[in-house]
Structure 1
Amino acid sequence: MNKFITTILFLLIIFIQNGNPVVSNDGKISVKNLDETAKNLIANAVNLTVTNESSNSSKLPLIAEPPNGNGKQAEEKADSLAIFFILFIIVLAILLVHLLIKFQVRFMPESLAIVLLGGLIGFILSQTRWDWSEVEQFNPSIFFLVLLPPIIFESGYNLHKGNFFANIVPILLFSVVGTAISSFIMGFFLYIFGRLGIAYSLNAVESFAFGSMISAVDPVITLAIFQALKVEVQLYMLAFGESMLNDAVAIVLATTAQELSSPTIAQMSSLATLKFAFDRFLIMFFASAALGAAIGLVSALLFKHIDLRRTPSLELALLLMFAYLPYGFAESISLSGIMAILFCAIIMSQYTHLNISPITQITFQQTFRTISFVA
């Protein structure tokens, strides 16, 4: 859904001009008009933001500042209200998913229902007389450092490894080679169309980076249909395995493309640049996977030789630390944290899982399923 929206916005910037046609009088598409189109759209977006902020300023503050002027106290109240509001929405989302399961609503995926719930709540809040802007703010670092790692770890830890590794070759072909081919094709045509004046002009690095980000497809509805139709396990595993790896591949490709914009690499020849991009992708992909697998093996050896089964709380706490270690370490050394935590989860589910107590096995699995759902 988010990739679709990003694509639509990008195409709007390319092909739409507010009140002025992109096509010139002689019937040809003008790059100058396209530049003016982008400028007008950006100006309209800024004006819309200013208008929105001015409309918010006319609303009543959600948290009134104390008479003594203690702004810190008002900030603490705003943070407390934001936490309460987030928890309340999560409660509504859980109840909504429960109703979908109870009444067997198969035509609507859980993720789509939650998105619609969020849109409805946002619309209701926009119609009130209070200013909710402070509560609505979200720091992207929270998503990448707190919410994303448990989602990736849970998908790898609860993976059906037998069917996955039985089809590992076609899964890697689809996820790595297929996503790379799709990224190159999308980036190539974006670059060519920009040079021909058909689309907004982007350089080669920008075209490839954007093509990488929209090439990874998340087939949630397709997998839901496969489950309902009870298709062959191999077909389902190919689609599921590819969807699990393609996001990581797309992020690695986009990161590699960003590195190509450095002045040192810009002076290289086309062949040398292509070789650097290919080598960088291989290093980032396989080095991240090896790092995650190594940390997973270390955790397996540690739990094998240190018996924590009589203290499940310590056992669970140490497992949680190992689950987050590869992501932070990989990101700190410019590798892919997603690939590292994914392969760490696969190794831990295969080896570490056997060296912990039965109660911790169940608790650890359910804990990450819960965190992943909430995230």
Structure 2
Amino acid sequence: METVGVVLAMLLAVIGSGYLVRMLPCAVPLPLVQIALGATIAGVFGHGVTLDPEIFFLLFLPPLLFLDGWRIPKVGLFRDKGIILELALGLVVFTVLGAGFLIHWLVPTMPLPVAFALAAIVAPTDPVAVSSIAARVPIPRRLMHILEGESLLNDATGLVCFRFAVAAAMTGVFSLADAALTFLWLALGGIACGVAITASVAFIQRVAGQRLGEEPGSPILVNLLIPFGAYLAAEHMNASGILAAVAAGVTMSYVELTGRALATTRVRRAVVWDTVQFALNGVMFVLLGEQLPGIVERALNDARIDVRMTPWTLAGTALAISLALILLRLVWVWVSLRLTILKARRHGRHVYTPNFRLVVATSLAGVRGAITMAGVLTLPLALPGGAPFPGRDLAIFYASAVIIVSLVVASIGLPRVLRGLEVPEESSEEAEEDGARHDAALAAIAAIEKAAHGRLGQEHDVDVHASAADHVRGIYEHRLGGGGLYDPARLRVAEQAEREYRLAALQAERTAILAMVHASTLSDETARKLLHEIDLVEARYR
């Protein structure tokens, strides 16, 4: 029962953190509040949750990475693929080498392979943490797409480096050729698993639904299980389950574009996934907070091996490692950007030269999170000979410190760096949206004309159908700007005005229905049906 109490306390902490962060006088990032609440829970219950890294990876990461891969804009992902790969591959290797030697120099008692393992696991940024920061910081859209793409792909690079650094610490042997081959298998095998699982499940579900029918909640449940299936299949093949979950999400976005899912299924599925995302995001950071007291205590015990290491030097070293990671990221981003601009100019292309503040913002946005925490906890407890794994508790402490410092620096620094920064807008997106609305409205009007013409002479109430067709046609002609004068700017003003009037009318409907229920002139069953219809319409305008 105590475990159930801790789980319930964690969920309450996630709920309460959303209210608490709004009550604080200054802008504190939500993940930091959740970490603090997690540490409080650990203090109240006397201990935190015993965290199994493999279970943690399986329960939390697949659905969140699947959702990020599903919802990330694919146009931006493929447009900036060169920049994303530079960050996801080159920057991780650069960070492992630079931070690894620095950590070994700062903490001589930590062997070099262990220092490289720590550098490898803190190198990847975390998509969940990046999304949490982006929710409160106005990051430019294109930069956000790049950061999301980087964080989705750099996990494989970091985990491969981590795996081979740990193997070197355990055996004293390292093979670059084996590392390269393993990386290729992890990446390609994981991506192939994700694509194959999603495509196969979608095909089977479609065929079974057409022939046998299906329960209303079945498609949503299947959708929730896909990332776990992709992750487990990839891990069973010794490939990257993380990349499999991401690839499954990207594939799911293309499956969804086939338009075979019912509208009600898409609405309900979006609500379910939003709830899952909110709960898992919060619980992950609460779990990190619950681990902190034990991590700090074990790190202090481990630090006593070196007489020069005091709690203050321990904290100073953690801060130095965190700042070094930001500096390494800054150097890599600036150098790669200059090389990209130079290459474009040599080919005679005109390219936008970003303000240096944008480079600094990219460096500060390298937020670490759950993948770093779960990965570092997989460090072995002992060497093959039975001796304790050297520097394990220190490595876990420094990784936890990097997560917290990166969250604090991003939440404090990004708003100040980005304030007043002018970034070229992606104007094509607005024009693309206007064009799509225009073409869709024309197609809708043509379909109305065809349907109305087909019913002439077949229905007794011809005038009723003609009136209904005119009403629906009028809605789409309104979208076209009053029947021919298509002015996107005036149309957006009209849509905003319509939205306000619609919301006011829907609220009045809801109030009237609730008044009838309170007066016992309307049954609660009928009221729920009518309120559900109003809620669906309101969701469209909200």
Measured against the shorter chain, the TM-score band is 0.5 to 0.7
Deviation of 1:212 (Å) = 0.6
> Is the 8 Å Cα contact of residues 157 and 348 (structure 1) preserved in structure 2?
yes
AA aligned opposite 1:301: F
> Is the 8 Å Cα contact of residues 303 and 352 (structure 1) preserved in structure 2?
no
2:65 pairs with one of 152, 156, 176: 152
1:288–1:171 CA distance, 2 compared to 1 (3 A) = same
Map Cα deviations across residues 110-149 of structure 1 (whole Å, 9 max, x no partner): 1111111222333344xxxxxx44x743443431222222
Map Cα deviations across residues 240-283 of structure 1 (whole Å, 9 max, x no partner): 322333334312321244455686x93xxx7xx22221222122
Aligned to 1:199: 108
User: Is the aligned partner of 1:97 residue 2:18?
Assistant: yes
Aligned to 2:244: 340
2:181 pairs with one of 279, 282, 286: 279
1:371 aligned counterpart, secondary structure: helix
Deviation of 1:216 (Å) = 2.1
User: Is the aligned partner of 1:170 residue 2:78?
Assistant: no
Q: C-alpha distance in 2, partners of 1:89/1:259? A: 35
Q: C-alpha distance in 1, partners of 2:199/2:128? A: 31
Structure number with greater Rg is 2
AA aligned opposite 2:229: L
1:289–1:111 CA distance, 2 compared to 1 (3 A) = same
AA aligned opposite 1:358: A
Provide the identity percentage: 23
Pairing of 1:250-269 with structure 2 (within 5 A): 250-259=158-167, 266=173
Q: C-alpha distance in 2, partners of 1:220/1:107? A: 19
Deviation of 1:356 (Å) = 2.2
> Is the 8 Å Cα contact of residues 327 and 340 (structure 1) preserved in structure 2?
yes
Q: C-alpha distance in 1, partners of 2:28/2:235? A: 36
Map Cα deviations across residues 316-362 of structure 1 (whole Å, 9 max, x no partner): 23223323111011111211111111111111122146332222223
1:220–1:86 CA distance, 2 compared to 1 (3 A) = closer
User: Is the aligned partner of 1:107 residue 2:27?
Assistant: yes
> Is the 8 Å Cα contact of residues 296 and 348 (structure 1) preserved in structure 2?
yes
User: Is the aligned partner of 1:355 residue 2:260?
Assistant: yes
User: Is the aligned partner of 1:372 residue 2:277?
Assistant: yes
Deviation of 1:166 (Å) = 2.2
Q: C-alpha distance in 2, partners of 1:238/1:176? A: 14
Q: C-alpha distance in 1, partners of 2:2/2:218? A: 33
Q: C-alpha distance in 1, partners of 2:233/2:127? A: 30
Q: C-alpha distance in 2, partners of 1:105/1:237? A: 30
User: Is the aligned partner of 1:81 residue 2:2?
Assistant: yes
Aligned to 1:6: none
AA aligned opposite 1:123: G
Aligned to 2:297: none
1:201–1:221 CA distance, 2 compared to 1 (3 A) = closer
AA aligned opposite 1:200: T
Map Cα deviations across residues 4-33 of structure 1 (whole Å, 9 max, x no partner): xxxxxxxxxxxxxxxxxxxxxxxxxxxxxx
Q: C-alpha distance in 2, partners of 1:297/1:104? A: 46
1:84–1:305 CA distance, 2 compared to 1 (3 A) = same
User: Is the aligned partner of 1:245 residue 2:150?
Assistant: no
Q: C-alpha distance in 2, partners of 1:275/1:304? A: 43
The number of residues matched between the two structures is 277
Aligned to 1:13: none
Q: C-alpha distance in 2, partners of 1:320/1:373? A: 15
Q: C-alpha distance in 2, partners of 1:364/1:160? A: 19
2:111 aligned counterpart, secondary structure: coil
1:119 pairs with one of 23, 39, 45: 39
> Is the 8 Å Cα contact of residues 291 and 340 (structure 1) preserved in structure 2?
yes
1:312 pairs with one of 206, 216, 240: 216
1:112–1:219 CA distance, 2 compared to 1 (3 A) = farther
1:201–1:140 CA distance, 2 compared to 1 (3 A) = closer
Q: C-alpha distance in 2, partners of 1:104/1:261? A: 45
1:105–1:368 CA distance, 2 compared to 1 (3 A) = farther
Aligned to 1:235: 143
Identify the structure with bigger relative contact order (alpha carbons < 8 Å, sequence gap 6+): 2
AA aligned opposite 1:86: V
The alignment's TM-score, normalised by the length of structure 2, stands at 0.45
2:74 pairs with one of 144, 152, 161: 161
2:209 aligned counterpart, secondary structure: coil
1:261–1:293 CA distance, 2 compared to 1 (3 A) = farther
Q: C-alpha distance in 1, partners of 2:18/2:98? A: 38
217-226 or 287-296, which deviates more: 217-226
1:311 aligned counterpart, secondary structure: coil
Map Cα deviations across residues 61-101 of structure 1 (whole Å, 9 max, x no partner): xxxxxxxxxxxxxxxxxxx3321332233123213314546
